Amino acid sequence: MPTVGVIGLGSMGMGIALSALRAGLPVRGFDVAPDRVEAFVAAGGQGGSLDAAGDLDIAVLVTVTAAQARDVLFGAGGLAAALPAGALVIACPTMSPDDARDLAVRAGEAGLLYLDAPISGGAAKATEGALTVMASGAGAAFAAAEPVLDAVAETVFRLGDAPGAAAAMKVVNQHLAGIHIASAAEAVVFGITQGIDPAKTLEVISRCAGTSWMFENRVPHIVAGDYAPLSAVDIFVKDLGIVLEAAGAAGFSPALAETAAAAFRAAQAEGLGREDDAAVAKVFARQAGVALPGAG
Amino acid sequence: MPTVGVIGLGSMGMGIALSALRAGLPVRGFDVAPDRVEAFVAAGGQGGSLDAAGDLDIAVLVTVTAAQARDVLFGAGGLAAALPAGALVIACPTMSPDDARDLAVRAGEAGLLYLDAPISGGAAKATEGALTVMASGAGAAFAAAEPVLDAVAETVFRLGDAPGAAAAMKVVNQHLAGIHIASAAEAVVFGITQGIDPAKTLEVISRCAGTSWMFENRVPHIVAGDYAPLSAVDIFVKDLGIVLEAAGAAGFSPALAETAAAAFRAAQAEGLGREDDAAVAKVFARQAGVALPGAG
């Protein structure tokens, strides 16, 4: 039984840690916020600190950004120095393929295995152990990761042996997810300008060719006027930023992603960064001069 | 048994005419192209000409544009003068809510019932009698339309008694459908710039949060390099034009729809108007300097 450390106990990391625990693995939880570690301990896990990680076989990084993952691994008192030789790093944050390749090279230089393993599915799926994992890395990294992947994932897409390939696929997913959240919000507002109640738009379009996974998942938030963050505006400012950076580095200007990114940045500038990403509808509603459900 | 005329025997109109025929209704087919009428007659239907439509109880308009529908009804030798008093017009084209209201008013002045009834689902669903119909109009129009709706639709959304309400919902659907075709194409091209094979993008994203109805329906065309038109680029230039016109009239500038419309117009300008709408990917591929499957 490998000893597993989960670094970052946000909604996704907590779900992953709990799923690994439920599968019978010894799991230690790490977070900069003590209350997150306490919550995990209360649920039956163990707490820990990064500089005493010498007994971990697997470190699952569930930080928000690549910069945080880099700092956790290679910053002062970082994991890379504490982990035993041959331990496995499973890196889950959405990051550019270049960042994934860079982290993998540095982990290799430190004698560690590295699995590029971004995740999709949201907090509920994480807690159920039913995530979708896009993964790429060496065969030895996949083999070592198996107990964790079995515990947390419903579907694992094996995308080859090169770190960066999985990061690229996740970034393509975020390209679409970000555009589709924005298009759902724009459509609801457009409907209001045409006299259509948002609840009716949700009911009808969910069964027509205009639907999307994000439309069906996020429009209920708009209909309910509930912007408690399941995933925040700030996340899509970040993720579409990664999309635009990766595309730009390849000489491509994805116009739809740029337009969606501008809408999320506008929402952030209006102070909505910590609200649910469906709050991008508020930007469109203000532009259109219409009221959303629950507004004012 | 009402006698039904179907005006416009394109892929959608032919499917509707055949479904009505299969349901046991007497059906006459009309089209400016004699070979379409001949095909319908060969399938067991009857042909006809618009100025001899005095025995029709129901006229189903399946033209491409509102202007064509207006011409069929109110042009020289048009249906409105030929139809008996109290006959029903079922108008299926995607059109602006203003156009739908205008046609309904003029039909009423001519003593006709009018059902605003745009359709969704594509040619295959039309032929199966399994369309989704968004409908609005007076109770008498709904009652008279029942035999036809039963024959052609799997789902009928009743959107109230005001013509224009159904047209508005269809336009909202086309807003999303157009953006999602363009976003699917942009994502596939973005993936190629990151080293991802389009077939792999299709396989993985179809099971992730980035998916959409249009992604799953159109990306196979890109993967196969097959741009035989099931629905053409020209259609989305038209439909997104209606979106932008209706939004603009309400004082709203939908930025994502504008961006998608620009992509379809660019495809049209490059001579791709008659190709499948997934050919918008060729515009993005050229911008990115990458090759799509089957190209070159």
Instruction: Give the residue from chain B lying closest to A135, CA to CA.
Output: B204
Percent of chain A scored above 90 by pLDDT? 95
Please answer whether residues B169 and A211 qualify as being in contact, where contact means their C-beta atoms are separated by less than 8 angstroms: no
pLDDT of residue B262: 98
Residue B155 to residues A86, A209, A274, B158, B176: CA-CA distances in angstroms? 58, 13, 39, 10, 20
**Superfamily (CATH) of domain B4-163:** NAD(P)-binding Rossmann-like Domain (3.40.50.720)
Classified by CATH at the fold level, domain B167-288 comes out as N-(1-d-carboxylethyl)-l-norvaline Dehydrogenase; domain 2 (1.10.1040)
- The CATH number of the structural domain formed by A4-161 is 3.40.50.720
What single DSSP character describes residue B208? S
Residue with tokens 């993936």: B191
Pairing of strands A131-137, A113-116: antiparallel
pLDDT tens per residue across span A147-202? 999 999 999 999 999 999 999 999 999 999 999 999 999 999 999 999 999 999 99
Task: Summarize pLDDT for A21-42 with one digit per residue, the tens.
Answer: 999 999 999 999 999 999 999 9
Structure confidence at residue A122 (pLDDT): 86
B157 to chain A: closest CA residue: A204
What one-character DSSP code corresponds to residue A75?
S
Contact B89, B107 (CB under 8 A): yes
At residue A68, the pLDDT reads 97
Q: Check residue A112 and give left, alpha or beta (phi > 0: left; psi -120 to 50: alpha).
A: beta
Structure confidence at residue A230 (pLDDT): 86
Mutate to test the interface with A, among B132, B188, B193 (most CBs of A within 10 A): B193
Provide the token pair at A58.
């697997």
Is the model's pLDDT at A296 over the cut of 70?
A: no
Name the CATH architecture for the domain at A168-288: Orthogonal Bundle (1.10)
SS (H, E, C) B66-102: HHHHHHHHHCCCCHHHHCCCCCEEEECCCCCHHHHHH
Catalytically active residues of B are: 170
Does any CB of chain A come closer than 8 Å to the CB of residue B260?
Answer: yes
What's the pLDDT tens digit per position in A230-288?
Answer: 899 999 999 999 999 999 999 999 999 999 999 999 999 999 999 999 999 999 999 99
Q: Please answer whether residues A37 and A31 qualify as being in contact, where contact means their C-beta atoms are separated by less than 8 angstroms.
A: yes
Equal fold, A4-161 vs A168-288: no
The complex scores an ipTM of 0.96
Q: Which residues of A touch B176 (CB under 8 A)?
A: 183-184, 187, 205, 210-212, 215
As a whole number of angstroms, the distance between CA B61 and CA B172 comes to 21
Q: Where are the domains of chain A?
A: 4-161, 168-288
Measured N-to-C along each axis, helices A255-267 and A233-249 cross at an angle, to the nearest 10 degrees, of 150
Q: Give pLDDT tens digits along chain B (296 positions).
A: 999 999 999 999 999 999 999 999 999 999 999 999 999 999 999 998 887 788 999 999 999 999 999 999 999 989 999 999 999 999 999 999 999 999 999 999 999 999 999 999 888 999 999 999 999 999 999 999 999 999 999 999 999 999 999 999 999 999 999 999 999 999 999 999 999 999 999 999 999 999 999 999 999 999 999 999 989 999 999 999 999 999 999 999 999 999 999 999 999 999 999 999 999 999 999 999 999 999 86
Beta bridge partners of B89: B59, B114
